[in-house]
Amino acid sequence: MPLLCGAWLNYLIKNMANPKLELTWIGKEKRPKLEPRILLEEPDKSYHAQLRRELFARQDSIEAQRNALIDKLEAALQQAVQEQTLFTVAWELK
């Protein structure tokens, strides 16, 4: 592997210490721009308000299912155990 020259090495060190990344995606420019005060005053006008409501509803549904499964498991663990002798084995060493 070739050694890096001094200028290139300095450039890498400088840019790795303070990277500047920009997230981009298709349709980024089409996203509505709302002022923060509007979002605080009227959350329904938020771009993601409907998605947030759906997410919270799904999370509530999942939590209810989880709680039902936990209750069912706890009930199964609380079952009474009966002990009954089915057979007896006897042996002798000589």
The pLDDT value recorded for residue 1 is 46
Which pLDDT score, from 0 to 100, does residue 80 have? 79
Please answer whether residues 34 and 46 qualify as being in contact, where contact means their C-beta atoms are separated by less than 8 angstroms. yes
* Per-residue pLDDT reduced to its tens digit, 53-78: 889 999 999 999 999 999 999 988 88
Percent of the chain with pLDDT over 70: 66
Torsion of CA 38, 33, 55, 26, to 10 degrees: 180
Model pTM?
Answer: 0.38
